[in-house]
Amino acid sequence: MTAHEHLIARRGRRSGVTTMVAVHSSALGPAVGGCRLKAYPGLTAAVDDVLRLSAAMTAKCAVAGLAFGGAKSVIALEPGRVLSPAERRDVLLDHGDLIASFDGAYLAGPDVGTGPADMLVLREVTPHAYCTPEVAGGTGSSSGPTAAGVLAALRAASGTRSMAGRRVVISGYGSVGAHLAASLHAEGASVVVSDIDPAKRAEARDFEWVPPEKALTMPADVVIPAAVGGVLTPETVARLETPLVVGPANNQLSEDAVADALAARGVLWVPDYVASAGGIVYTLSREAEGLDHTAALARVEAIENTVTDLLTAARSHSTTPLQEAAALVERRLAAAAG
C-alpha cells in the first residue's frame, strides 16, 4: 500500500474541536470516505484511526471497481465529552469548512457517530457530502445496501443461495446488523444476535441473544462481525467454531497475519473491504453517477461475482482471499497510474 497523499488536522474555529481528513489515494478518482465522530484517548489515536481507515477505503473502492479513491475523516472528541445539539452543529460546520478546503478532492459520507442529518449540516458549508436524508434529495442511510452487499458476499462464500436451516451469528445489532438479521431470518436461517448495548436486546426479541464476549466464538455456520474493528485477533481465531466469517465491520483483523491464521484453521474469511462495499457502491452509483435504484443495487449484487472470483483465485494459487484482494487493488492502482 502506498503512502498517504494528505493528512490535514485543524482545530475548529467555532467549536475548538480538532477534526481531520486523510486522503490516502486519489489515483482512481476523487477520494471518498465516511466521517467518524468519536471520542479518542488522544490525537495520536485519532490520527492512527483516520490513516488506517482511509487506506482501507482505497482498497474498498478499487476492489469494487469504483472510479474513486480512498479517504476518511475524523472528528476527535475528548473522552467523556457529550455534545449539546448546538455544539454538535458547530463541530460539524467546522468539519465542513475543512472538507470544503479540499475543493472536491475529498467527498464525505456518514460513518460511526454520524448520519444523514449530519451530512445536511455539512452541506451548509460544502457541497461535498453524500448520503443526505431522502427527503432532502439524498440516498439516506447506506446500511441497507451495505447489508445487501454482505449477503451477496455470503452467497458466494457459502456456495448457497439461501441460509435456510443454517445457524448465523451476528455480532453487533446496529443498523447493518439489524438488516442482516431480518433478511437472514426471513430466508429461514437460525439467527443469533449480540450487542454490547443491552438496550438492543428488546429490539432483537425475534432472535436468540448471546452476550457479546461469546458471540464470535459460538458454533455456527457463519459468523458475521457487524460491530467494531480489530475483533479477529490470534486469540479469537484460535477459538473460532465456524467455517466462515463474513461481515460489514471495517478493519476486522487485529493485524494482516491473522488472515493466515484463519486459513491455517480452515476458516474462510472474506476480506472486510470486499464484503462491506455495498453502501459506498450504492451511494456513489446513485448520487455521483446518477444511476437509478435498480441499476445501483445490481452493482451491489455484483459483489457476489467479485467474491467468487477472489475465492477461485485463492484456491488455484494457494493464497488467502486477502492476498488475492490486495493483489487486485495493486493491479487496479497500477493500471490507473499508467
- Residue 39 vs 100, nearer CB to ligand NAD: 39
33 touches ligand NAD by CB under 6 A: no
Distance in angstroms (rounded) separating the CA atoms of residues 60 and 25: 12
**Long-range residue pairs from 233-241, CB within 8 A, at least 24 positions apart, any chain:** 233/258, 234/258, 234/261, 237/261, 237/262, 237/265, 237/267, 238/265, 240/216, 240/265, 240/267, 241/217
Of 38, 60, 72, 214, the catalytic one is 72
What is the number of other CB atoms lying within 10 angstroms of the CB of residue 160? Answer: 13
Least Å from the CB of residue 162 to ligand NAD: 23
Least Å from the CB of residue 72 to ligand NAD: 10
Backbone angles phi, psi at 9, to 5 degrees: -120, 140
Rg value, the chain, Cα: 19
Binding residue for ligand NAD, selected from 7, 196, 210, 302, defined by CB under 6 A:
196
Of the candidates 90, 97, 88, which has an alpha carbon nearest to the alpha carbon of residue 21?
97
- Residue 93 vs 236, nearer CB to ligand NAD: 236
Binding residue for ligand NAD, selected from 15, 142, 158, 323, defined by CB under 6 A:
142
Of the candidates 220, 271, 233, 267, which has an alpha carbon nearest to the alpha carbon of residue 249?
271
Segment near ligand NAD (CB under 6 A); pick from 40-48, 89-97, 138-146, 232-240: 138-146
Chain residues 93-112 in contact with ligand NAD, contact rule CB under 6 A: 112
Binding residue for ligand NAD, selected from 93, 189, 249, 322, defined by CB under 6 A:
249
Provide the grid cell at 270.
472474506
Least Å from the CB of residue 57 to ligand NAD: 10
Chain residues 259-288 in contact with ligand NAD, contact rule CB under 6 A: 276, 279
Segment near ligand NAD (CB under 6 A); pick from 115-123, 141-149, 158-166, 294-302: 141-149
Least Å from the CB of residue 145 to ligand NAD: 7
Strands 222-225 and 208-209: unpaired
Distance in angstroms (rounded) separating the CA atoms of residues 155 and 150: 9
Report whether 289 contacts 283 (CB < 8 A).
no
Binding residue for ligand NAD, selected from 26, 73, 236, 250, defined by CB under 6 A:
250
Q: Any bridge partners for residue 106, and if so which?
A: 31
Strands 18-25 and 31-39: unpaired
Segment near ligand NAD (CB under 6 A); pick from 189-197, 260-268, 298-306, 323-331: 189-197
Q: Reply yes or no on whether 214 is catalytic.
A: no
Q: Which amino acid is at 334?
A: A
Note the residues at the interface with ligand NAD (CB under 6 A): 112, 142-143, 146, 171-177, 194-197, 200, 212, 226-228, 248-250, 276, 279
Q: Catalytic residue numbers?
A: 72
